[in-house]
Amino acid sequence: MTAPSAQPGTIITQPPPPAANRESRIAAHSHIKGLGLADDGTAMESSQGFVGQRNAREALGLHLALLRQGRHSGRPLLLVGPPGTGKTALAVALSQELGSKVPFCAVVGSEVFSGEVKKTEVLGSCFRRAIGLRIKETKEVYEGEVTELTPSEAENPLSGYGKTISHVIVGLKTVKGTKQLRLDPSVYEAIQKERVVVGDVIYIEANTGAVKRVGRSDAYATEYDLEAEEYVPLPKGDVHKRKELVQDVTLHDLDMANARPQGGQDIMSVMGQLVKGGRTEVTDKLRREINKVVDKYIEQGVAELVPGVLFIDEVHMLDMECFTYLNRALESPLSPYVVFASNRGICTIRGTEFDGSFSAGIRSPHGIPVDLLDRCMIVKTEPYSRDEVRSVVDTRTRVEGIAVTPEALDRLADEGEKSSLRYALQLLTPASILAKTAGRTDVGVSDIDELGSLFLDTKRSTNVLKDLDANTKVY
């Protein structure tokens, strides 16, 4: 069944074009590739870049099984533990296990506070970002290798000077045959934007005129000895065919496309608005209309709902209004799987400091109201042992390509146990720079000792402040 094409006054259900691939960078959790669980669900000591936190990983593995069965919507997961114990890493591992086709939206509690958009609107958009829609469409397309590309010029009717393109002749070839098309000038503009030349494999959507360059025909693969070109085989079947396309989009993308549509109603003009800046509030009325269309598509079998994961780090930074909104949003039938994280114990809930008789505020575990806390499945993370710190540092040295002697690795493990894992990891790159400056390829103990005199960890910095003179407060 084919999804209806967008008409003026209807809801746009076309996904945005795929984002350009960024150059891979080494980030804080680049080494995390999954939860590191065995087939029976038990956590291995070190696997998929994850070390330690075996109980927490096994709990998330059970949570992951519930997600895949679709039985965990509306019941959030809360990760609690001291700073630097891998709460964010657990959320990253969960997203890696779910795969790239499942939406994963990560935010920090303080991100919802904005002078432009309401707090509840920011949370609502985050919820919509974490809900995917897989649209299956059967489109009529013309596909093949370009054998002819001839624009036809005519006199410009608006002025006596210059010429304009009246139409363009495009020849397409497949394994089964060839076909010559006479196309509108607007299609020629799309062909120019895709930088199509003779020998490229393209397809043109019959109803919108959108042009997509697939690659260069493999018949030209031996034309050059070296070039950065992707070669594809000659398409099979007829030039004019019905092609089934599966496209993934989030509900937030549909909200944005319908909140400010400009120009035409085709996919190129509509989705071009998504790259423009500015934050726009989406009304509840528009979201209800979009939800109706989504429900209709799901009933017709055209689309499939893909609940993703919304990860809210530092959840204690939210205030009472946000928690009240979360209580309602979690009960919605269109709710993603929500994971919270907090490193606080019993603290004051934000927004209750001057609430009537509670002038000091309402205190609650993890800074979360008890009614929302009662909905959560709580997972605790433990501080890392020395051996686990050493294993994590060793993993990061391999990811970052830094050679470290065993003695220096032991010294970094001691520093991580004495101060924190983050401090030990932060010493890796500066230590490699010191080693290179000294003409050595491996990081040694002397490099770690020199960094210890240059940079203070949290505990040493705190002790320095405690030893300051009470009157002068100077170093």
Please report how many Cα atoms fall inside a 13 Å half-sphere around the Cα of residue 443, on the Cβ side. Answer: 26
Please report how many Cα atoms fall inside a 13 Å half-sphere around the Cα of residue 355, on the Cβ side. Answer: 13
Q: Is the pLDDT assigned to residue 474 strictly greater than 70?
A: no
What 8-state DSSP symbol labels residue 77?
A: E
* Dihedral, 118, 121, 123, 126 alpha carbons, nearest 10: -130
In the predicted model, what is the mean pLDDT of residues 372-395?
A: 88
65: confidence class by pLDDT, cuts 50, 70, 90:
confident
Q: Is the pLDDT assigned to residue 181 strictly greater than 80?
A: yes
Residue 304 region, left (φ>0) first, then alpha (ψ -120 to 50), else beta? beta
The reported pLDDT for the residue numbered 472 is 60
Q: How far is CA 266 from CA 8, 130, 210, 256, in A?
A: 11, 25, 8, 15
- Radius of gyration, alpha carbons of the chain: 29
Q: Is the pLDDT assigned to residue 409 strictly greater than 50?
A: yes
The SS3 assignment for 385 reads coil
271: confidence class by pLDDT, cuts 50, 70, 90:
very low
The reported pLDDT for the residue numbered 94 is 84
pLDDT tens-place string over residues 8-55: 455 555 544 544 443 345 666 767 777 888 888 788 877 777 888 888
* Mean model confidence pLDDT for the chain: 80
Rounded CA gap, 432 and 410, in Å? 16
Look up residue 357 and give its two tokens. Answer: 């008789």
The reported pLDDT for the residue numbered 20 is 40
Q: Is the pLDDT assigned to residue 188 strictly greater than 70?
A: yes
Sign of CA dihedral 58, 88, 343, 465: positive
Q: Label residues 454-463 b or e (16+ Cβ within 10 Å = b).
A: eeebeeeeee
Q: Is the pLDDT assigned to residue 5 strictly greater than 80?
A: no
pLDDT tens-place string over residues 215-224: 888 888 776 6
Rounded CA gap, 368 and 316, in Å? 6
Which residue, chain included where needed, has tokens 């393209």? Answer: 202
In the predicted model, what is the mean pLDDT of residues 362-367?
A: 88
Q: Write the CB contacts of 318 (distance below 8 Å, at least 6 apart in sequence).
A: 109, 112, 312, 326, 350
Domains annotated for the chain, with CATH where assigned, are 46-130+308-380 (3.40.50.300), 136-246 (2.40.50.360), 386-466 (1.10.8.60)
Q: Is the pLDDT assigned to residue 230 strictly greater than 50?
A: yes
DSSP alpha helix (H) spans, 197-319: 251-259, 267-271, 284-300
Instruction: Report residue 19 CA to chain centroid gap.
Output: 11
Q: Three-state secondary structure along 386-447? A: HHHHHHHHHHHHHHHCCCECHHHHHHHHHHHHHCCHHHHHHCHHHHHHHHHHCCCCCECHHH
295: exposed, middle or buried (Cβ count in 10 Å: 0-12, 13-18, 19+):
middle
The reported pLDDT for the residue numbered 125 is 87
The reported pLDDT for the residue numbered 2 is 44
The reported pLDDT for the residue numbered 226 is 63
Lowest mean pLDDT of 63-67, 124-128, 165-169, name the range. 63-67
Q: Is the pLDDT assigned to residue 411 strictly greater than 70?
A: yes
The residue count for the chain: 475
Look up residue 3 and give its two tokens. Answer: 């999804």
Rounded CA gap, 290 and 251, in Å? 8
Percentage with pLDDT > 90 across the chain: 3
Rounded CA gap, 294 and 306, in Å? 12
281: confidence class by pLDDT, cuts 50, 70, 90:
low
Dmax (CA) for the chain in angstroms is: 91
In the predicted model, what is the mean pLDDT of residues 225-242?
A: 80
CA angle in degrees (0–180, nearest 5) for 308-310-316: 165
- Phi, psi at 246, each rounded to 5°: -110, 120
pLDDT tens-place string over residues 307-345: 888 899 889 899 888 899 898 888 887 788 888 999 888
* CB 207 within 8 Å of CB 139: yes
pLDDT tens-place string over residues 142-176: 889 999 888 888 776 666 566 778 888 999 999 88
